[in-house]
Structure 1
């Protein structure tokens, strides 16, 4: 991913926190030179000094068969994004787009059944534990679980390279920056509202 120096993120903890918060990612592999992509809920784990991305894919999805044959697997995570009009700058310029993105490269392997069960248990715990009637691994019938397990394939990707970008108008003067935030709040779409909030928090953190 091309990242100008203004927008490059190098803080490891900040990157992994972003991955945890935007865990619905896109996994990309290749088959005979053709890219294949699937959108999946993913999890981030750390074992000693090694980072991993885990998840599961439908057995009927042929992409899982490419996971171990690819030299490198790419997983992409995306945060808020919004159109930035150059009419919001004090001086003439061209429009652009603000966004957050993380690209993770690594080598993938297929989980065995026990590893897949552990990963699914963690996934349910993450998204269900706070609910009034949580659907957890232990609350589901063995018959249902056995049936569903036959329909998915779990995988684990060892992280080898990470690229992260926060393009939040950091290259603009404070006056322009604050005006961009104000104008984004005036936009009607949720993405622009989220970007305004993100830029506001980022500005305060850097001051």
Structure 2
């Protein structure tokens, strides 16, 4: 993606976004060479601190009737995107009138390589990660469903591991326009979920305290 240096985030910010907004878009090509997109939750598996240059890994699955897994099997490289809070920004936040609107947002793009997972135990391990992420109280119920039912459900999905080959994090919060920060922060604090989410990112990154300059994105 287009990533001006003033909006470039780091791995720590990327991890925070992927964990707080795990519903991703998995994008690859179909047999006609056209983009094919599946929207799905993904579990981020971080490398062990002692693992050196070990890559990030994303775990997920699709329904077996979804042809996406076949496209990934044939062409393992794909792109995954995560979209965090985003919202319109009015030019009214500037102290002068000769300005235009923009859109502020936080997102992550990953280039990944796919490995399909078919063994029952590996699928079960993957599903337990997703259950722990989104509904830990369901874990006992899943374990109590019985092996026959679990195997039937497992046969209905294709699971995969997505090794992250390249990661880009974009934090576009008008960093290069400090004259607007105070008004923008106050406006976002009074807004809805997305606006308040961006206000928290501004606070975490200390935006409004620097003097970055640059071009509009």
- TM-score using structure 1 length: 0.88
Distance 2:12 2:59 in 1: 18
Unaligned 5+ residue runs, structure 2? 211-217
Cα distance, 1:30 vs structure 2: 0.2
Distance 2:135 2:208 in 1: 31
Instruction: Indicate the SS of the match to 1:50.
Output: coil
Structure 2 equivalent of residue 190 of structure 1: 193
Of 86, 101, 105, the match for 2:107: 101
Cα distance, 1:128 vs structure 2: 2.5
How many residue pairs are counted as aligned between the two chains? Answer: 202
Cα distance, 1:109 vs structure 2: 1.5
- What is the 5 A alignment of 1:39-118? 39-47=39-47, 48=51, 49-70=54-75, 72-91=77-96, 92-113=98-119, 114-118=121-125
Structure 2 equivalent of residue 8 of structure 1: 8
Structure 1 moving runs of 4+ over 3 Å: 133-137, 204-207
Task: Tell me, yes or no, if the aligned pair for 1:98 and 1:168 is still in contact at 8 Å.
Answer: yes
Task: Tell me, yes or no, if the aligned pair for 1:128 and 1:135 is still in contact at 8 Å.
Answer: no
Distance 1:138 1:205 in 2: 49
Decide which moves more: 56-65 or 69-78: 69-78
Task: Tell me, yes or no, if the aligned pair for 1:124 and 1:135 is still in contact at 8 Å.
Answer: no
Instruction: Indicate the SS of the match to 1:68.
Output: helix
Unaligned 5+ residue runs, structure 1? none
Structure 2 equivalent of residue 177 of structure 1: 181
- What is the 5 A alignment of 1:113-192? 113=119, 114-129=121-136, 131=137, 135=140, 137-173=142-178, 175-187=179-191, 189-192=192-195
Task: Tell me, yes or no, if the aligned pair for 2:181 and 2:208 is still in contact at 8 Å.
Answer: no
Structure 1 equivalent of residue 22 of structure 2: 23
Task: Tell me, yes or no, if the aligned pair for 2:13 and 2:169 is still in contact at 8 Å.
Answer: no
Distance 1:75 1:136 in 2: 31
Distance 1:136 1:14 in 2: 34
Cα distance, 1:7 vs structure 2: 0.3
